[in-house]
Amino acid sequence: DTGVSQDPRHKITKRGQNVTFRCDPISEHNRLYWYRQTLGQGPEFLTYFQNEAQLEKSRLLSDRFSAERPKGSFSTLEIQRTEQGDSAMYLCASSLWDRGYGYTFGSGTRLTVV
């Protein structure tokens, strides 16, 4: 069990470019969550997957954001046409559905849009 891995740790991109982040959850965890954390705030829920199905999306997740979890393993979060307001830490977490308090977070991907 190597924990939740996120890649890259840091990403600097120019406004208007597309970026993609990857999250590898704990292998036996069937639930996967994406959160966004801006400076001085707590994490905010973006979306979650149970196995490969994306079951809920926050209204924070605009049309420029898309997330996938093919085969119920790793997940990707893509942001198209990045804006400066997208600059944030993007955190991934995983859990077992029957142990709802056992969330494990990754170290996050820090995105800076210049």
Partner 1 sequence: AQKITQTQPGMFVQEKEAVTLDCTYDTSDPSYGLFWYKQPSSGEMIFLIYQGSYDQQNATEGRYSLNFQKARKSANLVISASQLGDSAMYFCAMRRDQTGANNLFFGTGTRLTVIP
Task: Measure the CA–CA gap between 79 and 16, rounded to whole angstroms.
Answer: 10
Site string for partner 1, 66-105 (x = CB under 8 A): -----------------------x-x-x-x----xxxxxx
Say whether 61 sits in a helix, a strand or coil.
Answer: coil
Using the minimum distance from each CB to partner 1, give the nearer residue, 25 or 108: 108
- Per-residue exposure over 45-68, b if at least 16 CB sit within 10 Å of its own CB, e if not: ebbbbeeeebeeeeeebeeebebe
DSSP one-letter code for 41: S
Binding status of residue 44 toward partner 1 by CB under 8 A: yes
Minimum CB–partner distance for residue 81 and partner 1 (Å): 25
Using the minimum distance from each CB to partner 1, give the nearer residue, 16 or 68: 68
The answer to whether 36 and 85 have CB atoms below 8 angstroms apart is: no
Q: 14-33: which residues touch partner 1 (CB under 8 A)?
A: 31, 33
> Which residues are near partner 1 by CB under 8 A?
31, 33, 35, 40-45, 48, 55-56, 89, 91, 93, 95, 100-108, 110
